Amino acid sequence: MSIAADNLIKRLLRISLFSCLVVQLYACQEEVKEEVDTQRNQFQRNITHSIPDSLLIGSSYLSVYSQVYNETEHKTYNLTATVSIRNVNKSDTIYIDNAEYFNTRGHAIRKYFKKTLYLAPMETVEIVIAEKDKEGGTGANFHFDWRMKPSSNEPLFEAVMISSFGQGLSFTTQGKRIKTGR
């Protein structure tokens, strides 16, 4: 085979490889958009009935780590966090009035829904904090306000933090009730 033909084959292989990478990157971006839309839609659930006045009112705190320190206090490692809001009751609906995300300094970053969200028995909704979202920092947290029947089990709030960079890292946290009343 001549040198010119060999060079031509190498160029075609490079172009082919580059084209495949571009197609894969585009496909990944489309997949991420679909995931974000799904998350937004799960919070657009309207309550079609009135909420009973006799419900127990509570608040819970959940620590979430969008970053952890790596090697020193000057170097951080970004994580993806999945926050699960779970109704552990088999027959009672619970109501989540507020899910507010705070950063390390205690400043409110965002609220995740504008109206009260209901969770049917045994239902779970999730909030995903993307790995590239560093706003929360190493001490990020959520504050939830919720309502339930006095005989119901309170909602369960959990977070799973993960990164697959290098050898990978994952851990979980659980929410803590901070206030209950009427």
Q: pLDDT of 162-177, one tens digit each?
A: 988 777 889 999 999 9
For the full predicted model, state whether its pTM sits above 0.85: no
Domains of the chain by residue range: 1-42, 56-181
Tell me, letter by letter, the H, E, C secondary structure of 9-60: HHHHHHHHHHHHHHHHHHHHHHHHHHHHHHHHHHCCCCCCCCCCCCCEEEEE
Predicted local distance difference test score (pLDDT) of residue 36 = 43
Pick the CATH number of 56-181 from 2.60.40, 1.10.3470, 3.10.20, 2.70.70: 2.60.40
Q: pLDDT of 69-86, one tens digit each?
A: 888 888 888 999 999 999
